[in-house]
Amino acid sequence: MSERNCVLCTTPGGALVWQGARLRVIRADEPGFPAFYRVVWTDHAAEFSDLSRDERVLCMEVVAAVESVLRAQLQPTKINLAALGNMVPHLHWHVVARFEWDSHFPAPIWAAAQRERPLEQEAAIAARLSEVDALLVAALQPWS
């Protein structure tokens, strides 16, 4: 099921990293947060509880796999997970690698910046994302 006016029904929602039968992983273009991924449920569903038990398990297995790859490859200070949907009411999980040097840390990425953006450090992470994406595809193979 899809909704004509839903951006996550009509577009990938970012750079497509992996596509499974029920969900996809995209890398979002969020300035200041190079390792910002989303796990997007393919069918239009607004809330996590709209999914069946098996679908919820599948969704969280993929979220955990994305988190694990980011932790192993980038060694972030923290991984933030969020499923808000206030702006886009289509079920998707944000999986964001956070670093103590990022402009907003330790505040949420949607809060006011705490400091200037560290462009050199952001670029160093961004340079590694093609490799991270390939490792994500490999890690997500069981759900392809």
Query: Given this structure, which CATH class describes domain 7-139?
Result: alpha beta
Gap between the Cα atoms of 60 and 128, Å rounded = 25
If one compares 12 and 102, the residue with the highest pLDDT of the two is 102
Boundaries of every domain in the chain: 7-139
Token pair in block for residue 114: 């705490």
List Cβ neighbours of 12 (8 Å cut-off, separation of 6 or more).
Answer: 24, 26, 40
pTM of the predicted model, to two decimals?
Answer: 0.94
53-74 vs 129-139: helix axis angle to the nearest 10?
Answer: 140
| pLDDT tens readout for residues 114-132 | 999 999 999 999 999 999 9
